[in-house]
C-alpha cells in the first residue's frame, strides 16, 4: 500500500507535470493509494488538496476548455510552484547538497 507521502508526491508530480488541467478521473487512474470507493476517494482527495494548499503550493481549480458538459480540473503552474530562497549560507547549501546526494 502506498504511503500518504508517496501519494502526495505522485499527485504533485501529476499536477505540476501536466500540460492541461487534470480531472478527478485521471487522478484516480494515475495516482496509487486512493480508496476504491468513490465517496472514500473523494474525501481523501479533498484532504490531499487541502494539504497541498497548506504547503503553500498554488493548486488551481479550473474549467477545462472545450469540454461539454464543463469538466473541472486541477493544476499547479510550474513557475508558481518554486519555493522561496531560504537564505542558506554557502556551507549550509553544501551540507544540504551532500545530504541529498547521500540519499
Q: What is the pLDDT of residues 46-78, one digit of tens each?
A: 999 999 999 888 899 999 988 899 999 999 987
- Phi first, then psi, for residue 75 (nearest 5°) are -155, 160
Average pLDDT over residues 8-20: 90
Q: How far apart are CA 6 and CA 99, in angstroms?
A: 20
pLDDT at 5 over 60: yes
Q: Is the pLDDT of residue 41 over 50?
A: yes
pLDDT at 103 > cutoff 80: no
Phi-psi region for residue 60, left (φ > 0), alpha (ψ -120 to 50) or beta? beta
Give the pairing type, strands 72-76 and 59-63: antiparallel
List all residues 6 or more positions away from 1 whose beta carbon is below 8 Å from its beta carbon.
33
Full-model pTM? 0.73
Amino acid at each position: 500500500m502506498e504511503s500518504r507521502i508517496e501519494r502526495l508526491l505522485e499527485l504533485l508530480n501529476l499536477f505540476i507535470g501536466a500540460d492541461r488541467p487534470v480531472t478527478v478521473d485521471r487522478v484516480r487512474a494515475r495516482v496509487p493509494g486512493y480508496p476504491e470507493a468513490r465517496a472514500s476517494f473523494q474525501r481523501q482527495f479533498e484532504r490531499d488538496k487541502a494539504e497541498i494548499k497548506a504547503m503553500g503550493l498554488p493548486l488551481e481549480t479550473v474549467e477545462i476548455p472545450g469540454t461539454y458538459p464543463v469538466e473541472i480540473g486541477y493544476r499547479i503552474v510550474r513557475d508558481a510552484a518554486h519555493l522561496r530562497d531560504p537564505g542558506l549560507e554557502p556551507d549550509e547549501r553544501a551540507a544540504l547538497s551532500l545530504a541529498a546526494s547521500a540519499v
